Amino acid sequence: MIQKIVVVGAGTMGHGIAEVAALSGFRVGVIDVSWDFLNRAKDRIKESVVRLYEKGQLKEKAEDILARIEFNTSYDIAKDADFAIEAVPENLELKKKVFTTLDEIAPPHAILATNTSSIPISDIAEATKRKEKVIGMHFFNPPVIMKLVEVIPSKYTSEDVTNITVDLAKKMNKIPVRLKYEIPGFVSNRIFIRLLQEACREVESGEETIEEVDSAARNKLKLPMGLFELADYVGLDVVVDIWNVLTTRGTPDVKCSMYRNKVNEKNLGVKTGKGFYSYPSPGKYSKV
């Protein structure tokens, strides 16, 4: 039975996943390398939970939910975890370090999940001695609002672990999509990156402007955001990371420099306050 969930990485995705777990009644531990990151995550979770409480969407008081979450720079809080979710940047070596540490500290029964957007789950599992208990559990930004969770077994993951993870996603009030195996980009990011490739092609060839592509996405495709706006929202560094993993793993590449140029300029989108659009408070999305 899962009682405590530990989230490693308190950034854009990690803090949201921790919030979702606490909203679903689990005890939660959040681990990151610095108290600056942890305090920022604490503030963002509080702001979001209070917003939901004030809208009458919670059955409990905001402070009771927040009291279920502990924060620490030490992995000691993973000692009694039943399930861990890693949400650190998309770097295989970094993720392997996290999994090796979790493997040493978390109890033997604990399942270790990764929120990776595109890295093969098997490569991460190989950093542990419990490969059959390692799985992909991919949330979408913002985790508190987005219903989809992709559950991705690796070639090592046991059927039981996959079933438990699918059940956990349902307990977290999400709609799980269970993949048969770890295809590059899973389901949604394969489509997402292809949309961004086409959007880039249209703009760089001079056929359309960024604003025209985004207006078509919002008003014809009925997406909640334009494609460049969504790229800003996800983070342009994340987009480039996923793009690189997909093309390395066989997805045909297209000529496009827009996303890489923004990353080279250190304009990463909402998180830095500037990407294809500008955001007055870095880290906070406001409609463009």
The catalytic residue among 48, 86, 189, 229 is 189
Torsion angle (degrees, nearest 10) of CA 176, 177, 182, 188: -110
For residue 255, how many other CB atoms are within 10 A of its CB?
9
Radius of gyration of the chain (CA): 19
The catalytic residue among 15, 19, 86, 138 is 138
CB of 201: closest distance to ligand 3HC in angstroms?
20
CB of 128: closest distance to ligand 3HC in angstroms?
22
Contact assessment for residue 96 and residue 125, using Cβ atoms and an 8 Å cutoff:
no
The catalytic residue among 115, 117, 118, 154 is 117
Which of these ranges, 3-11, 27-35, 135-143, 254-262, lies near ligand 3HC under the rule CB under 6 A?
135-143
- CB nearer to ligand 3HC: give 142 or 273: 142
Binding track over 40-79 against ligand 3HC, x by CB under 6 A: --------x--xx--x------------------------
Binding test (CB under 6 A) with ligand 3HC, winner from 66, 92, 179, 225: 225
CB of 203: closest distance to ligand 3HC in angstroms?
20
Q: Is 15 helix (H, G, I), strand (E, B) or coil?
A: helix
- CB nearer to ligand 3HC: give 52 or 179: 52
CB of 73: closest distance to ligand 3HC in angstroms?
24
Q: Residues of 126-165 as b/e, b for ≥16 C-beta within 10 angstroms?
A: ebbebbbbbbbbbbbbbbbeeeebbbbbbebbeeebbebb
* 56, 68, 76, 188 from 192: Cα distances, Å: 33, 34, 37, 6
In the residue annotation, 189 being an active-site residue is answered as yes
- DSSP codes of every residue in 138-176: E--SSTTT--EEEEEE-SS--HHHHHHHHHHHHHTT-EE
Which residues contact ligand 3HC (rule: CB under 6 A)? 48, 51-52, 55, 117, 140-142, 144-146, 189, 192, 224-225, 230, 234, 238, 287
As annotated, the active-site residues are 117, 138, 150, 189
